[in-house]
Amino acid sequence: METALRDGFGRTHRSLRISVTDRCNLRCRYCMPAEGMRWLPREELLSDDEIVRLVGIFARHGVGEIRITGGEPLVRPGLPALIGRISAVPGVGDIAMTSNGVLLADAIDDLVANGLGRVNVSIDSLDPDRFEMITRRRDLDRALAGLAACERYPSLRPIKVNAVALRGVSEPDVLPLAGLARERPYVVRFIEVMPLDAPREWTREAVLSGEELREMIGARWPLLPMAPERPSATGTSWRFADGAGVLQFVSSVTEPFCASCDRLRLTADGQLRTCLFSTSETDLRTPLRAGADDDEIAAVARLAVSRKEAGHGMADPSWTYAGRPMSMIGG
């Protein structure tokens, strides 16, 4: 392995989240407007060859964990084959994907056959009407079918369910979603809503905090804290006291985990982001297409990582986010 990617605060970066598209088949209220999104032109998206080459460069510098994201990654044609190529890159030891599940039932066999090792499925409500209200699509049955299809593969377990919590909307869903972790081979992850929506309607008041969620669930099923999955875990883990399952709480707003962050992000158009909430990006696509060699591209990435901020700064009440929305960054 060549020189590891370390920032100025001593954090070594081992995880890369790759957005393969900015497009999505849902229109979640905390992410996109109902209509009017302007998609990236096809020629601006990284090709499969470009993605695989960049993965190889990062893998040679110690990045062995890859997560495929979007938009909705399954709207990109040929995704299983791309995952197969990534899985063959020396140094890559783990490939995960985050999906809304709508297209997953028909794709999971090919995805697993090509090396997919873990999956997170985003489902914010088990109520069809509330699911439609949040996503602006009536696709709960398809999302649940995709989630269930993953159960055919023990290698994917524990399957993770991502649920964004919105104050004034999500309260009726908290216990039903938590109950999934008691009944199925799922780890349910409650995620605080973040200021990454395209309409720029996020407010701190909309955040239903991890602490509040634990209190709601604990009143029904007592919870006990667990050791983190790994030092750089994005969420805290809790188990039901009666041993019936595990929950996680990703509390980026109220309980940030910046000090142990080891993640980088590559957008669908080839921009490297060292933090989800960065307002700056480092262009890797331009030198890639201009003929730069691997060492030159690695040097650009290494400089960007060295300048990574200590944290996102949301603890400051005056903090605002002016960067690209989540769908253009990668979930």
The answer, yes or no, to whether residue 329 has pLDDT greater than 90, is no
Q: Mean pLDDT over residues 245-260, rounded?
A: 92
pLDDT for 221 equals: 98
Average pLDDT over residues 238-256: 94
Q: What share of the chain is helix, strand, coil (3-state, %, to 5)?
A: 35, 20, 50
Estimate the crossing angle of helix 140-150 against helix 128-135, to 10 degrees: 100
Whether the predicted pLDDT of 313 surpasses 90: no
Give the pLDDT confidence score for residue 203 in this predicted structure.
Answer: 87
Q: Does residue 202 have a pLDDT over 90?
A: no
- Report helix, strand or coil for 104: helix
Q: Give tens-digit pLDDT for 124-142.
A: 999 999 999 999 999 999 9
The predicted model gives 96-122 an average pLDDT of 98
- Of 236, 300, 303, 306, nearest in space to 12 by CA: 306
- Considering only CA atoms, which of 94, 100, 28, 106 is closest in space to residue 55? 94
**Over 90: is that where the pLDDT of 191 sits?**
yes
* pLDDT confidence bin for 196, thresholds 50/70/90: confident
pTM of the model: 0.95
Could you tell me the domains of the chain? 15-329 (3.20.20.70)
Task: Give the per-residue pLDDT at 327.
Answer: 82
What band does 29 get if pLDDT is binned at 50, 70 and 90?
A: very high
- Give 157-174 pLDDT, tens digit per residue: 999 999 999 999 999 999
Using the predicted structure, report yes or no on whether residue 1 has a pLDDT greater than 70: no
Q: How far apart are CA 60 and CA 65, in angstroms?
A: 12
Q: Which residue has the higher pLDDT, 219 or 311?
A: 219
pLDDT at 199: 74
Q: Measured between alpha carbons, how far is 47 from 239 in angstroms, rounded to an integer?
A: 42
Per-chain mean pLDDT for the chain: 94
What is the predicted pLDDT for the residue at 277? 86
In the prediction, which pLDDT does 315 show? Answer: 66
Name, in order, each residue with C-beta under 8 angstroms of 130's C-beta and a sequence gap of 6 or more: 169, 172, 173
Residues 273-304: tens digit of each pLDDT: 999 888 889 999 999 999 999 999 999 999 99
Greatest distance between any 2 Cα atoms in the chain: 59
The 10s digit of each residue's pLDDT in 34-90 is 998 899 999 999 999 999 999 999 999 999 999 999 999 999 999 999 999 999 999
